[in-house]
Structure 1
Amino acid sequence: MVSATLLRAAAALALPFFVSATPTYRVKRNDTNPEWADNLLQESMTWMDMFYDAEAGYLYSLSAQALTHETRASAWYAAGLLARNEGNDAEEAVKIVENVISGQHKNESSQWYGDYQIYPEEPTVGTKQYPPNIYNSWDPNWRGFVGTTLIIMLEEFPELIPQDTQDRMMESLHNATVGDSYRVGGVDDDNLYPSYSNPALMRAFMSGWVGRRTNEANMTSAGETYATEILDLFNRANTLSEFNSGTYAGVSLYALTLWAKYMDESSVMGQNGARMIKETWSSLASLYNANLKNVAGPWDRSYGFDMNRYLSIIALHMWTLVGKDKAPINAKPYAMGHKDDFAIGPLVAILAPFHNTLISAEALSSLQTFPGTHSVKTSAFSPPWDTYPRNITAWLSPKLTIGAESFSENVIGGPAKNPNSFNPAIAQWGRADGTVGWFTLHPQVMKLDAVASENVLELTYPDGNETSTFEFLIGTNSKNGKRDVASWEDVEGVKVTVNGTVDSAYEVTFSGLVGGAGDPINDFEFWNFTYSMPQGSKETPKVRLQFELVE
């Protein structure tokens, strides 16, 4: 049963429930957001409308998994229904919310207490036939994704939600916040540390917001303490620990908007959220090449190698800032790689009128027009994975960008332990047909010295030996380029000169959708250029790559 305290807190939020008499609600516009946020809301909702199962009160799986449903996207869709508020949208939103809440895990002794089902058809997590598997059968980050969505609904659209549903939303938020407190980095396979930026920011916010609404001082204090730990990491270089991720920097900006908009000055989150948004955008804008429509590397976690081809949440924010045509978004977003993230579009749109006032004029200008050739130097720190802060360098010119980060870590593949998403050394270039070519180092070591400078990328394995290899992944050529690649001479749009302590001979293989030596990474096909050390070499593995654009 929900406590009397929770009921009183929810009642304080509520207004009477009106549907038919309520005028259509659109995303609020201002001079910074003329119609772009509303466009994002309408396009993302029109796409999700096709997946909505009104009888079940859930979205079908956006990955078309045999008509199963999914929970998180359904919650996001419900928020969008309230924002759109046409016809019976509000009634359907309430139906979805009730379903999502009813699927919350309620066993207080389980590690997944307060979390939400991945999909409603799944078996009971923790049974013999369906054992718990973190980030698979249950995802602890969904407490934050779903919970913050419920908070946005309560904050922005209380007049559209019946009182009894609001009561249950508050109870659910309380459960999710308590369950999130079970998370301790390094315990029970959990990886939540303050350096895991996007869920950490959501965790701090939920604890602070729910604690204040329910008058629970310990919960409030826990949120403030966690937020301070995140802030300490941020303040050392004004960078997120989870640095420069097309997807997760977008989630972090979403969470920071909740800090800035819904937490008052009594909170460290209310005091610092707006500044952190401004600084994060300044960092992203300094690395953005508007000609290529890509944020230059390095990328701590990426779901693709060209933002024009996979859907990133940063690009959704940019849609509301500069318009869809100028953002790295295809005309058909749902055809892009990682398209399921289009479902968060309504939340980005709802928050955009507030969020977009916090970006500096200089950063906004850089998102629209490339400011000219320049270099970037900064750092980021992700304890306990990093033994020292990662040193980041990048060089950007009108049609060529190079980025790199030096690191010393206790894992391979960055804090996410995923070599397929960790990209510590990247180059991108514009090709004659307007498409983007790309190059990335596939990570194989725990320690790398990497420096990007004008036309040059220098890489060293300090702890390497004669068995070390450098695997360079190169994107496939454009439709008009060569289909077959056997050497650097076959790579479209760029000339690459390689030297160092490696053997000058190299092996080229292909990883394709339906064949080759391996599988694509994040749906991107590529050519793998592998350099090895000479047999018996005692030298430190080093390689220097010089890039030159070719018309």
Structure 2
Amino acid sequence: MTQPMVNMMSNQQQHLVRQSMVMMDRFYDDEVALLRSFEDDSSQYGTRGSAHYALGLLIRQESGDVEKAIRVLHKVLDYQYDAPEEIYHGTFATQMNDEHPPMGHYAWKSFAPGTAYFLERTFEKVSAQFIHNLQQENDLLKEGADSKRLRELFDASVNAVLPPVWISYDPNWREFIACVCAIATSEFAELLPYELIRRMDEAMERAVQGSVERRLSDVIPMNTNIELMHIFITHYYGHRFQRTDWIQHADEQAEGLLQEFDQYGGTFAEFNTTTYYGVDLAVLGMFRKYAVTERMTEIAHRIEYGLWNNIALFYNANLENLSGPFARAYDMEMREHSSIGVFLYLLLGEGYEYLTGMNCESGHDPMIALLGIDVPAQAVPYFQVHQGDRLVRKQFMELCERNDPKANRNLCTASAWIGEKRMMGAMSGSRNTNGQMHPVTIHWQTEMGERYYLRLIRRELGGNWNSHLRGITFEAEVTPESLNVDVQLDTSEEIEVYFEIKGPNLRSQDLQPEQWKLPGLTCTVQAEAPEPTVLMYTDYAEIIYRYVPGVTENRMRFELGINE
């Protein structure tokens, strides 16, 4: 009998597996045979996290683990949508108690690319007209009635009839769970019963077919991490099922991705992003281990090395973080909502365990341990020691996934100053509506080693920064001592444009309109913008500039002079 895979791993790989599994064991519910979500609400049971847990069980193989993994995988497969004519065919419910998406009202296969964009824009206009008509015809919205609530009710009515992407279903769960099934099939087929292998293969036929139809229709565009997973699963299962059409599709998609990657010196549409780079590196590891053809292996190898070189260019070994600007990011800290610290631990070895602290991506760690790393030699020194102060610029062609497909690619420039104890980022050219695009960023460290960050973001009044808002654009530039940004606001909504500053010992009296005296950093501020409001929280502050349509100018400009 062969020994468990974890016993054949390096000390670093074993550490990742055991640490992650201890965490996931706590969230596993044996009665339900699923993992409670540690990403948002522990009362929910998630399918993707459960699939990663099952893979971890197969890697660890302690007493009862294999049997448990089999139960979990069967349960995850129970939540796949089998609806060939629907846009969500082959994907999975994200949570155990998700309602089934609406059926029978959306002939998406007969629509043109960008249908999701046009529907969303149409419903926005219908909603606005609906509220306008109510205002004209009756008193419902007079005397302070809540028009926003009416819009929400209208949107809910539309969503109950037509399946709204990322509300009633997540198309990306096809790719995430299919990747787990491919690894489980490749590595552990001899441990799994025939019935489970049969069910996984049948589910993967649905998942890959749905993924291919999505890609060909371009109804819902794929961001880079999903595009990589799409190519991998189509390639892997195309060969497993001897589907020549899938094999050809995967080959064409891979060549196209490589051509785009090379166009601007090795960059993705999803550029400089700790969260999604972690997924990218994991999928490139799947190609490295499981690609069937030499050409697919060669393409993945070139992209993997190019990605590591980009990460190195924007990395600061003293701050142990990637500099902005970020095309998409949840957090400014590399060890939050990201697996990059896990990859760096595998590279740097003993003594860097602290880079692997638990976060919402930690369920992927056993998979990452299994896949390993392949870092080009020239990039390694950048992760060991600061390689000198530098001003870097990289161009990339972004994807605005909710924009008109005829105008959803824009050439952007990401610029960054990487200094010994401070780094700053600035984005220009982006027209992305996604709040995850961070156009202005600063990271720094005090003499005492305390770390801080600053970012410029926006939100609808009363809303959240992590949302899609149209008509708001940023044009920023950086030098070693300054950050300048123009903000254009072509929207009918009230918007808060604000600088978020995070770190210990912040004081409101130090945040004056013309100067921010921060621990270890002083910013002089020239602002062509409304008078700011300062809000203080436990470990961060917000400096807010409010845009009111028809009252304030629809343009703001900020010039930040940086002094340490």
* TM-score between the two structures when normalised by the length of structure 2: 0.79
Counterpart-to-counterpart distance in 2, 1:25 and 1:539? 59
Counterpart code for 2:65: D
Instruction: Kindly indicate whether residue 383 of structure 2 is the aligned counterpart of residue 367 of structure 1.
Output: yes
Map Cα deviations across residues 128-155 of structure 1 (whole Å, 9 max, x no partner): 9797332133111010100001111111
Aligned partner of 1:402 in structure 2 is 424
Instruction: Kindly indicate whether residue 375 of structure 2 is the aligned counterpart of residue 347 of structure 1.
Output: no
Question: Does the 8 A contact of 1:496 with 1:546 survive in 2?
Answer: yes
Aligned partner of 1:203 in structure 2 is 230
Question: Does the 8 A contact of 2:317 with 2:385 survive in 1?
Answer: yes
Aligned partner of 2:461 in structure 1 is none
Aligned partner of 2:110 in structure 1 is none
Instruction: Kindly indicate whether residue 477 of structure 2 is the aligned counterpart of residue 459 of structure 1.
Output: no
Counterpart-to-counterpart distance in 2, 1:297 and 1:375? 12
Map Cα deviations across residues 271-321 of structure 1 (whole Å, 9 max, x no partner): 21011111101111111112111100011111112235x231222222322
The partner residue of 2:207 within 176, 179, 192 is 176
Question: Does the 8 A contact of 2:443 with 2:454 survive in 1?
Answer: yes
Instruction: Kindly indicate whether residue 197 of structure 2 is the aligned counterpart of residue 166 of structure 1.
Output: yes
Counterpart-to-counterpart distance in 2, 1:512 and 1:538? 29
Instruction: Kindly indicate whether residue 319 of structure 2 is the aligned counterpart of residue 292 of structure 1.
Output: yes
The partner residue of 1:154 within 185, 188, 192 is 185
Deviates more, 1:70-79 or 1:428-437: 428-437
The secondary structure found in structure 1 opposite 2:74 is helix
Aligned 1:324-473 pairs, distance under 5 A: 325-326=351-352, 329=355, 333-334=357-358, 339-352=359-372, 356=373, 358-383=374-399, 384=405, 388-409=410-431, 414=432, 417-419=433-435, 421-442=436-457, 446-461=472-487, 471-473=497-499
The secondary structure found in structure 2 opposite 1:181 is helix
Instruction: Kindly indicate whether residue 254 of structure 2 is the aligned counterpart of residue 227 of structure 1.
Output: yes
Aligned partner of 2:465 in structure 1 is none
Counterpart-to-counterpart distance in 2, 1:154 and 1:538? 59
Deviates more, 1:378-387 or 1:390-399: 378-387
Question: Does the 8 A contact of 1:25 with 1:83 survive in 2?
Answer: yes
Map Cα deviations across residues 307-363 of structure 1 (whole Å, 9 max, x no partner): 35x231222222322248537737xx34xxxx32211111111111xxx2x212232
5+ long unaligned stretches in structure 1: 1-20, 514-523
Question: Does the 8 A contact of 1:511 with 1:527 survive in 2?
Answer: yes
Aligned 1:315-326 pairs, distance under 5 A: 315-323=341-349, 325-326=351-352
Question: Does the 8 A contact of 2:473 with 2:487 survive in 1?
Answer: yes
Distance 1:72 1:463, change over 3 A: closer
Distance 1:511 1:147, change over 3 A: farther
Distance 1:65 1:297, change over 3 A: closer
Counterpart-to-counterpart distance in 2, 1:251 and 1:396? 25
Aligned partner of 1:50 in structure 2 is 26
Aligned partner of 1:98 in structure 2 is 74
Give 1:80 deviation, angstroms. 0.6
The partner residue of 1:282 within 296, 309, 316 is 309
Distance 1:136 1:470, change over 3 A: closer
Counterpart code for 1:367: F
Aligned partner of 1:255 in structure 2 is 283
Counterpart-to-counterpart distance in 1, 2:389 and 2:7? 37
Counterpart code for 1:346: P
The secondary structure found in structure 2 opposite 1:471 is strand
Counterpart code for 1:253: L
Give 1:64 deviation, angstroms. 6.8
Counterpart code for 1:72: R
Give 1:405 deviation, angstroms. 1.8
Distance 1:407 1:205, change over 3 A: same
Query: How many residues get paired?
Result: 487
Bigger share in helix:
2
Counterpart code for 1:349: A
Counterpart-to-counterpart distance in 2, 1:484 and 1:24? 59
The secondary structure found in structure 1 opposite 2:360 is helix
The partner residue of 1:115 within 91, 110, 116 is 91
Question: Does the 8 A contact of 2:428 with 2:439 survive in 1?
Answer: yes
Superposition CA RMSD, Å: 3.2
The secondary structure found in structure 1 opposite 2:532 is strand
Question: Does the 8 A contact of 1:249 with 1:314 survive in 2?
Answer: yes
5+ long unaligned stretches in structure 2: 104-158, 400-404, 459-468
Aligned partner of 1:516 in structure 2 is none
Give 1:187 deviation, angstroms. 6.0
Question: Does the 8 A contact of 2:315 with 2:322 survive in 1?
Answer: yes
Counterpart-to-counterpart distance in 2, 1:452 and 1:328? 31
How many percent identity over aligned positions? 24
Counterpart-to-counterpart distance in 2, 1:300 and 1:319? 24
Aligned 1:75-90 pairs, distance under 5 A: 75-90=51-66
Give 1:219 deviation, angstroms. 1.3
Distance 1:54 1:270, change over 3 A: same
Map Cα deviations across residues 361-393 of structure 1 (whole Å, 9 max, x no partner): 232221122112112121110255555411121
Question: Does the 8 A contact of 1:76 with 1:347 survive in 2?
Answer: yes
Distance 1:213 1:458, change over 3 A: same
Distance 1:540 1:162, change over 3 A: closer
Counterpart code for 1:191: P
Distance 1:213 1:490, change over 3 A: same
Counterpart-to-counterpart distance in 1, 2:53 and 2:262? 35
Instruction: Kindly indicate whether residue 16 of structure 2 is the aligned counterpart of residue 40 of structure 1.
Output: yes
Counterpart code for 2:422: L
Counterpart-to-counterpart distance in 2, 1:91 and 1:319? 31
Give 1:469 deviation, angstroms. 9.4
Give 1:485 deviation, angstroms. 4.8
Question: Does the 8 A contact of 1:40 with 1:345 survive in 2?
Answer: yes
Instruction: Kindly indicate whether residue 4 of structure 2 is the aligned counterpart of residue 24 of structure 1.
Output: yes
Question: Does the 8 A contact of 1:326 with 1:368 survive in 2?
Answer: no
